[in-house]
Amino acid sequence: MIEGERMTARPISDRKTKMHISNLTGCVRRCVKSARLMLLTLLAMAIGSIAWAGIPQPDAALFGNVLINGLPINSSSDVKIVARVEGVARPVGAYKMGASTFAGEGYLLKLRLEAPAPGSPVRDDAAIVSQTARLLVQRGSDPESLVATYPITTIGTLERLDLNLIVAEPVNCVADGATNAADHRAFRGCMGGPTADVIPACQCADVDRSNSVDLRDWAWLQSAFSAN
């Protein structure tokens, strides 16, 4: 009884003070939350502005045939052309054979270009004029192989440049360091024609990575024989 009376006997000003402190605490929390949100937004904007700091320029485009040991491959090949420049983390251009009808049986590679804005780094997938692009060919999941270099001298160009990938052992079904009669015998066992999918054991004979072992691959085998 006495305790209850004590509770209800608190001054009104004390309750108001507590309510005021409670409201003030809530306000501070909301302000801190808003400040955090604003800080994150500004940070995201800053990151975005860094990634897009350069001024985009018209692409430099390359086209032509892709050859392996002097024999052209076609658009059915699982082959990719990649362009890289020094100091840029990602490719500045890439083309997968067959990706564009404009390229026909060849390739069409666009090199992304930009002019760096003062005080800002360029994108991590674009080149600038005066850099030299390294052109690489990748067959299937093989490592990329350098086939040519291309000095970028101006923007908005379109030039033909055939790319010839040299493969020491195009058909290497027997790992003895040479293309010989053993590879020839293995190849005959894998020959299924252009409509038959290649089996894993015969991928060594699918030179152009067309997912079939056919007369085109035979041509590479023959050329490797004649080169020995």
> Which residues bind to Ca ion, rule: CB under 5 A?
206, 208, 210, 217
Pairing of strands 71-72, 145-151: unpaired
Residue closer to Ca ion (CB basis): 183 or 217: 217
Residue closer to Ca ion (CB basis): 77 or 131: 77
The helix/strand/coil state of 117 is coil
CB of 87 to Ca ion, least distance (A): 37
CB of 63 to Ca ion, least distance (A): 23
Residue closer to Ca ion (CB basis): 114 or 208: 208
Residue closer to Ca ion (CB basis): 11 or 200: 200
* Largest Cα–Cα separation, the chain: 113
Q: What is the number of the residue whose Cβ is closest to Ca ion?
A: 210
Q: Which of 201, 88, 133, 71 has the alpha carbon at shortest distance from 79?
A: 71
Hunting for tokens 């050329």 — which residue is that? Answer: 223
CB of 70 to Ca ion, least distance (A): 16
Alpha-carbon distances of 122 from 71, 102, 114, 131, 142, rounded to whole Å: 38, 30, 7, 13, 30
CB of 204 to Ca ion, least distance (A): 11
The amino acid present at 45, given as its one-letter code, is M
